[in-house]
Structure 1
């Protein structure tokens, strides 16, 4: 019963905070330079979400390998189990944008604000067109000093399962001559995919050493990233 109350309180407070955040965004986003929007707008919202989830739902976390984050931006490749990692990864890689499905931009208020953050919006049904968009727009954003976050599974997977990795992130990094920073986590154990209730516990996030993409094949590189993530997830649970 307490877990239900705490989860409800978490969403109530987060929704209230989001309403104030949206008003602030409407006023400030158009006035801020593009490279300042993530740090000023996105990070505070995400820190608040993490704070509330920790103190109301008991969702803690530990990070292994934070020292592996390079000084210059690159492509972040992470497995996807919940909404939690979409909050958390915004707080440690900045400025940042991410690859999202185009439909998210149509969500009232959220999508309209998200559009001002210059995401890489793709049509998942058009695989070839999506890859072109990721490479062309992603390369431009990387050259402007942005991190690019990609969930190569495409959608959230249940805890304990790892989906097939698409090669779009690897192709982008190779084309832009940027490093890949691999990330693995078990957030779905505490914050289950598509489940309202949260489970108290500690999420482990592993940040791997940057991968040089020089002279690499994007399909082979994607397979290597998948294998690395699979091994890290196995180690986390042991």
Structure 2
């Protein structure tokens, strides 16, 4: 990493942290008097858009979106792979209003957590997985009925670029129980914004929005099938983006054997 690049990254984080503190502090005093859609736009959309401007100006990271025409009119469950912090900025600004799963402890962080609490997040206790699943199901269903997008990262945590994590069924279950589709999204953000460390690479992040996927029936079997279909689509799309090595053909597998 060059000295100039290190300086740019340092300035990015200074401005990002300072703007977050100032905006969350202002939101804490102003946003409670707004309706939820206006409050969401004021707290989350405006700041996330500002953060993305900082990303473009200081880090040289741009974005290319494919498949925007696949977004349904009615909010549903968004299922995306998770590689970095970038996609939380981008998706929070791109879909509105949107709720996502986060650790309950974050809501206790002064100003930042208090502002986040006003955005109707699905705050879970990660130390108690069974209770967390029930929280996602009940709170997520309530939000969907109020026409709020629900973002689920089924891998559960950030996964290094070039790898895929196991998809949990929480997003598919939420969609099936609400009689709504999942909207699959795949991206290669980790190529430019790695999971580990402060280093960043300039370039263009590619985001692909797939066609909405409906379950074929109801119940556990339909949930599992829908989840497998969304996971397979995400993996194949990442391969198409060059994030994963091409899958070996049957003849190649036979020759290795």
Q: Give your verdict on TM over 0.5.
A: yes
Equivalent in 132, 137, 152 of residue 139 of structure 2: 137
How many Å apart are 1:36 and its aligned residue? 2.4
Residue 97 (structure 1) aligned with residue 102 (structure 2): no
Q: Normalising to structure 2: TM-score of the pair?
A: 0.89
Q: Structure with the greater relative contact order (CA < 8 A, sep ≥ 6): 1 or 2?
A: 1
Equivalent in 219, 225, 230 of residue 230 of structure 2: 225
Q: Distance in 1 between matches of 2:25 and 2:10?
A: 23
Q: Secondary structure at the match of 2:196?
A: coil
How many Å apart are 1:182 and its aligned residue? 0.4
Over aligned residue pairs, what C-alpha RMSD do you find? 1.3
Aligned length: 238
Measured against aligned partners, the alpha-carbon deviations of 1:160-198 in whole angstroms (never above 9, x if no partner) come to 111001101111111111121100001000000132121
How many Å apart are 1:146 and its aligned residue? 0.2
Measured against aligned partners, the alpha-carbon deviations of 1:59-81 in whole angstroms (never above 9, x if no partner) come to 11101101111111000000000
Q: Distance in 1 between matches of 2:197 and 2:68?
A: 29
Within 5 A, what are the aligned runs for 1:17-166?
17-166=19-168
Residues 214 and 226, structure 2, Cα contact 8 Å, conserved in 1: no
Alignment partner, residue 4 of structure 1: 6
How many Å apart are 1:125 and its aligned residue? 3.0
Equivalent in 178, 181, 195 of residue 179 of structure 1: 181
Q: Distance in 1 between matches of 2:24 and 2:93?
A: 18
Q: Distance in 1 between matches of 2:38 and 2:97?
A: 7
User: Unmatched 5+ residue regions in structure 2?
Assistant: 247-257
Structure 1 residue ranges, 4+ long, deviating more than 4 angstroms after superposition:
none
How many Å apart are 1:214 and its aligned residue? 5.2
